[in-house]
Amino acid sequence: MSQTVLESLNQAFHRMMQADERVHLLGEDLLDPYGGAFKVSRGLSTAFEDRVWTTPISEAGFVGVAIGMAMGGLLPVVEIMFGDFVLLAADQLINHGAKYPWMYNEKIEVPLVVRLPMGGRRGYGPTHSQTLEKHFLGAPGLAIVAANPFVDPGRLLELATLHDRRPVLFVENKKMYAQRLRLIEGGRCGGMAARTTGGAYPTVSLSFGGFELADVTLVAYGGMAELAVEAAERLLIEDERYCEVVIPSSIQPLEMDAIAQSVARSGRLVVSEEAPGAGGVGAEIISALPAAAFAALQAQPRRVCALNLPIANSPALETATLPGVDDLLEAMRQVLPPSKSTSAAG
């Protein structure tokens, strides 16, 4: 049985801290036996007690400390207990960590990773369930990586920590922690054909048919990836239509090649994200579509996103607020022409 996302991240931490003494971990409530709010950090303070720093409730303060550690030659990883709280450290990230290399003519680097457990569907209410990475899309110098079960999240975290010289926001959807990895082997992922791009943070493309059969391209990242695959399967079963699901790991900068190639094949595009759509990743993807791919579009692209409302405490209202499989399916049907079976039925 494959690892869960949580196990992959935890074991990556153990490997990194064993392999490189420059790796330090900072954040709230990290010490064992608690081991962090979502247990990604469990066992680390026992094994590496002099490199796990439990901090006061002061995100701006300990992110600032981590930026200084990175400038001094260490490889700090910050755990923000809930990703919602990253806004408290926005000034440190945007005005300091991301800008210092430019301000000092590239004579210093800030190799910092800030882990962000984001997303809803776990009943944490309006201040602990948001998906806020879009607010950092326009900050030059910040990289944003979003983990998903189709690319080993632990491997992504190791690359970001040990090899990326930029400040990296590492987005982990909370609902994803318990999911098992669905890694690609031999060009397949279960019953799907699969492709990955190269590079440190690959984009995955999945199809229940061959890629040449794609009727529509559905782009999803992070916690929306599994929902997109479920929607693609339902589209095939219920409508006999093929969907190519494209899952980028790098959100900033956006990797557009796989998306553009898929749109050129399908001629139709749906983009999805768990946050409200205004100023979001989906809008960026549509605006960044290369001219040739845009010219291939046979229908107006559609976005699937959360309602423009705070996330409610009520499970029923939270479900109604966040985008689900039915929303993805409906959006794909709206960009597709009527199928022969639908036309025949009237």
The DSSP-derived string for 303-337 is EEEE-SSPPPSSHHHHHHHS--HHHHHHHHHHHSP
Report the candidate in 148, 146, 139 with the shortest Cα–Cα distance to residue 110: 139
- Write out the CATH class of domain 188-335: alpha beta
Cα distance between residue 318 and residue 130, in whole Å: 11
At 343 the pLDDT is: 47
Q: Domain-by-domain residue ranges, the chain? A: 5-173, 188-335
Residue with tokens 């990290």: 30
At 338 the pLDDT is: 83
Compute CA distances 131 → 41, 165, 245, 314, 344, whole Å: 21, 25, 21, 18, 42
Q: Which helix (H) or strand (E) holds 24?
A: strand 23-27
Residue with tokens 């229940």: 208
Cα distance between residue 173 and residue 274, in whole Å: 10
Report the candidate in 57, 90, 70, 93 with the shortest Cα–Cα distance to residue 24: 70
What is the 3-state composition of the chain as percent helix, strand, coil, each rounded to the nearest 5? Answer: 40, 20, 40
Q: What are phi and psi of 7, to 5 degrees?
A: -60, -40
Instruction: Give me the tens of pLDDT residue by residue for the chain, a chain 346 residues long.
Output: 789 999 999 999 999 999 999 999 999 999 999 999 999 999 999 999 999 999 999 999 999 999 999 999 999 999 999 999 999 999 999 999 999 999 999 999 999 999 999 999 999 999 999 999 999 999 999 999 999 999 999 999 999 999 999 999 999 999 999 999 999 999 999 999 999 998 999 999 999 988 999 999 999 999 999 999 999 999 999 999 999 999 999 999 999 999 999 999 999 999 999 999 999 999 999 999 999 999 999 999 999 999 999 999 999 999 999 999 999 999 999 999 987 555 444 3
CB 78 within 8 A of CB 112: yes
In sequence order, the β-bridge partners of residue 73 are none
Compute CA distances 317 → 126, 222, 275, 314, whole Å: 11, 22, 15, 5
The two tokens of residue 281 are 């990743």
Q: What is the largest CA-CA distance in the chain?
A: 70
Pairing label, strands 23-27, 52-54:
parallel
Domain 5-173 and domain 188-335 have a common topology = yes
Compute CA distances 315 → 57, 130, 224, whole Å: 28, 14, 18
Cα distance between residue 309 and residue 317, in whole Å: 10
CB 67 within 8 A of CB 95: no
Q: Is 204 helix (H, G, I), strand (E, B) or coil?
A: strand
Q: Which CATH number applies to 5-173?
A: 3.40.50.970
Cα distance between residue 113 and residue 38, in whole Å: 17
Cα distance between residue 185 and residue 284, in whole Å: 31
CB 145 within 8 A of CB 167: no
CB 258 within 8 A of CB 248: yes
At 341 the pLDDT is: 57
What is the DSSP-derived secondary structure letter of residue 92? I
